[in-house]
């Protein structure tokens, strides 16, 4: 064995990530900057994966979360007071042509937890304290402005209600029955706190 071969018994712990500004340049190439990569990776906020990240970002900001969760966490957003929030997203319109509006459905409500130390859990479970169902309401592409937060509506439910359904996915009618009326972005933090049975801190109002 080569002397510089890694030991299989060493636990490799990464350093905490340093937030990027976008101006950092890739070394050893003319590929450009981190901002160039971001523009390449997420050029369209309507795309399914990116739209899901955008919804998580909006909930993250609304509840005043401090840091983004790691990708392998079993929920999406952690509030400052330790509330675990799962964000599910759907929309009538997609980033491609379609003959009719999409059916609204929120999937993957339960999943297997995973940690680097223990690996994946044997069974699926509901892993958040509160579930936020984020719906983009635009019905025409002319009205679909990804930067207009007013186009989003949020349904919110406590874990007990979601878990009681026993379902891995829910359609819009089921979500409406479960959550009641939808709220706007400005009302989101208060609804999340209410569904968790908590009071909203004086400085915890949703960011406009």
Q: End-to-end CA distance of the chain: give it in Å, rounded.
A: 59
Domain ranges of the chain: 34-195
pLDDT tens string 106-119: 999 999 998 888 88
pLDDT tens string 96-149: 999 999 999 999 999 999 888 888 888 999 999 999 999 999 999 999 999 999
Q: Cα–chain-centroid distance for residue 60? A: 8
Q: Which long-range contacts (CB under 8 A, 24 or more apart) does 200-206 make?
A: 201/81, 203/64, 204/63, 204/64, 204/80, 206/62, 206/63
Q: Which residues contact 153 (CB under 8 A, 6 or more apart)?
A: 134, 135, 137, 182, 183, 184
pTM of the model: 0.88
Residue 89's nearest CA partner among 142, 35, 141, 46 is 46
């Amino acid at each position: 064995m080569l002397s510089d071969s890694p030991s299989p018994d060493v636990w490799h712990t990464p350093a905490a990530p340093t937030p990027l500004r976008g101006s950092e340049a890739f070394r050893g190439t003319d590929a450009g900057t981190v901002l160039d990569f971001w523009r390449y990776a997420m050029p369209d906020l309507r795309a399914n994966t990116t739209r899901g990240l955008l919804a998580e970002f909006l909930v993250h900001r609304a509840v005043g979360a401090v840091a983004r969760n790691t990708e392998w966490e079993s929920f999406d957003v952690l509030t400052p007071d330790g509330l675990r929030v799962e964000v599910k997203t759907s929309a009538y319109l997609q980033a491609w042509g379609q003959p009719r509006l999409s059916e609204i459905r929120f999937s993957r409500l339960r999943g297997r937890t995973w940690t680097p130390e223990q690996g994946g859990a044997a069974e699926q479970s509901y892993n958040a304290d509160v579930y936020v169902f984020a719906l983009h309401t635009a019905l025409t592409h002319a009205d679909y402005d990804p930067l207009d937060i007013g186009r989003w509506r949020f349904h919110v439910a406590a874990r007990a209600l979601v878990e009681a359904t026993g379902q891995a996915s829910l359609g819009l009618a089921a979500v409406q029955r479960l959550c009641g009326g939808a709220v706007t972005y400005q009302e989101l933090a208060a609804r999340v706190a209410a569904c968790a049975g908590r009071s909203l801190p004086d400085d915890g109002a949703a960011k406009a």
